[in-house]
Structure 1
């Protein structure tokens, strides 16, 4: 019996070694293991994706991490609230870059690298990042493939081809697991009415899907392989101690909040709504508290799909009884579940979610122009 237990113990150690082996290279190069204490104070990161650069037609240049910023995120790691806040900054926000004049914010990367990107985002948001992290598009493909794909719901047909960039997008509506190449197409597609803002909203949906995948048993099993696959395609000024603290913080499974920098189309880009942004910044980047919510007269966008017209009418009746106005918002794919979304402090979403008995969350996926968004899934309470 003792030999049996000893054999099982050795087998367990061998399995653990095989699981952790892909992490050996990154740990040696980065010198970071998860810290037991995690983060002691909030840390704000500028995270952005670097578009490929080209040395000639159809020929990618060696990676310098100086391409146009394709995705721009201001990430607040808050150990006190056990929360990660991801603010998406649209690439078409205009900003005055020191020494270069007025440009769209994504141009700061090729002009001045991470340091100028930090300055540009600080001017746009009023929040100065503590550190930066630049990711190439290759990291996305390899990381998703190493995880075995990520399950995403594609809400509309997406077709686009760019032969020079080697980008081919051909996605049909439906919920399924996307490969790394398909994920890149899903996240980079912007040939629709909302342009870059629609792409930002899809990126935010992907963040939540990726979190679910990483915390699943299969995701945890494949996590070391994914870290090893991504590590060569990332550049950062994080210290060794900060990397370990972030890993320790991540093990505490913090809440994820995703936001779109509030604003509207105008002036050849995205004009920031300064009043709405101040309210968000106070709550999520300044340590302020949420306020009491008054739902009366608020506008709610009702997201529904084909065949859900009767469900739409029942939802409108319930919302009108609560003193709310409604705006039908049809989509090609019926929502997979019922939920309330708010790109705001979250007090309104919480109040409506509790009134209806449905889940709620803060996300920039909310429909533009409405105070709240209610997605009507088949589980909507009658």
Structure 2
């Protein structure tokens, strides 16, 4: 039979076109709806290796972490000062890779942002109550100069989840350069932390990261949050850390909001444990504060991206 006859050629072209169409459709779907992070296949490992939690991610993964000033997800009030709907009280981006130091970017919550159609700017912190993860993520993408669609992964953590995280890890060790005491009866919130080496439980860790005697001292609070983040990472990397991670992920389920699957969370935890030291903490370049203003701006002349790829 002549396979090059016109009817057979037309049939072959139709089949090829259909296959090509399926391939293009699959590519578009993969672009619009990213697959879960790919993980490498590994051989059997000993129990003390991080890969026993889950296979390590094949490529760096960027995660936006939003710390809320409300005690729980969906709380009607943040029970903070000023009282009202929840705000983003801390904003971090993590770039996690098993063979590179963990990258942490602190994003000032007091950055001034003006939404389209609005005359006056508001703080980045207040965008959470206006549009949740989507709006906060879009604003950060524009400010930092990230690629379209980044960051693809996020974790939203209220205060109760932060306490459970620390208690689940078995407390965290910090070294404080000064003591902090404060009593806020309106919030039912007390701070009593002593200078020197301290081992903090969940309640004390919350005191450290929330302490803010003056709204203009947010940069000092970020320094304390850096101390806390580094302490948590060290506790995760400790020999006892691997054994607590899986249970901790289960405990936090329902207390945090995230688009990371359980297997992805375990994979990223394994990558953090395997990542070399030291942790690299970056901060955005801010313009000098003018007078008593609370809202801040990015330093003029700063070129994008403000957090370049390593």
TM-score, with structure 2 as normaliser: 0.69
Q: Which residue, out of 281, 292, 300, partners 1:258?
A: 281
**2:142 & 2:267 partners in 1: Cα distance?**
28
1:333 alignment counterpart: none
Find out whether 1:136 has 2:158 as its counterpart.
yes
- Kept in 2: contact 1:35–1:248 (CA 8 A): yes
Deviation at 1:279?
Answer: 7.9
1:106 alignment counterpart: 125
Deviation at 1:115?
Answer: 0.3
**1:84 & 1:170 partners in 2: Cα distance?**
31
When you count strand as a share of all residues, which structure comes out higher?
1
Find out whether 1:272 has 2:298 as its counterpart.
yes
Please say which structure displays the higher CA radius of gyration: 2
2:190 alignment counterpart: 168
- Kept in 2: contact 1:158–1:170 (CA 8 A): yes
Deviations 1:203-240 (A, max 9, x none): 11222222222222344444444334333311112346
Deviation at 1:272?
Answer: 1.7
2:230 alignment counterpart: 208
Dislocated runs of 4+, deviation >3 Å: 53-59, 98-101, 218-229, 239-245, 274-280
Change in CA separation of 1:45 and 1:279 when aligned onto 2, cut-off 3 Å: closer
User: 1:318-329, aligned counterparts within 5 Å?
Assistant: none
Q: Which residue, out of 157, 167, 174, partners 1:152?
A: 174
Change in CA separation of 1:45 and 1:99 when aligned onto 2, cut-off 3 Å: farther
Q: Which residue, out of 92, 97, 112, partners 2:110?
A: 92
Change in CA separation of 1:42 and 1:147 when aligned onto 2, cut-off 3 Å: closer
1:74 alignment counterpart: 93
- Kept in 1: contact 2:70–2:79 (CA 8 A): no
Aligned residues: 245
1:281 alignment counterpart: 307
1:40 alignment counterpart: 58
Deviation at 1:45?
Answer: 1.6
**1:47 & 1:105 partners in 2: Cα distance?**
14
Cα RMSD of the aligned pairs, angstroms, is 3.0
**1:276 & 1:189 partners in 2: Cα distance?**
30
1:197 alignment counterpart: 219
- Kept in 2: contact 1:144–1:226 (CA 8 A): no
- Kept in 1: contact 2:70–2:86 (CA 8 A): yes
**2:169 & 2:111 partners in 1: Cα distance?**
33
* Structure 1, gaps ≥5 residues long: 1-15, 17-32, 60-65, 288-382
2:22 alignment counterpart: none
**2:305 & 2:92 partners in 1: Cα distance?**
18
**1:231 & 1:149 partners in 2: Cα distance?**
20
**2:67 & 2:100 partners in 1: Cα distance?**
25
**2:155 & 2:116 partners in 1: Cα distance?**
21
Looking at both structures, which has the greater relative contact order when contacts are Cα pairs under 8 Å and sequence separation is at least 6?
2
TM-score, with structure 1 as normaliser: 0.57
Deviations 1:331-350 (A, max 9, x none): xxxxxxxxxxxxxxxxxxxx
Deviations 1:89-128 (A, max 9, x none): 1111011234656211011101101000101111221123
1:115 alignment counterpart: 134
User: 1:53-72, aligned counterparts within 5 Å?
Assistant: 55=76, 67-72=86-91
* Structure 2, gaps ≥5 residues long: 1-46
**2:133 & 2:231 partners in 1: Cα distance?**
28
Q: Secondary structure at the match of 1:74?
A: strand
- Kept in 2: contact 1:155–1:174 (CA 8 A): yes
Deviations 1:243-292 (A, max 9, x none): 4542442342344211121224425222222556658623xxx23xxxxx
Q: Which residue, out of 199, 208, 217, partners 1:177?
A: 199
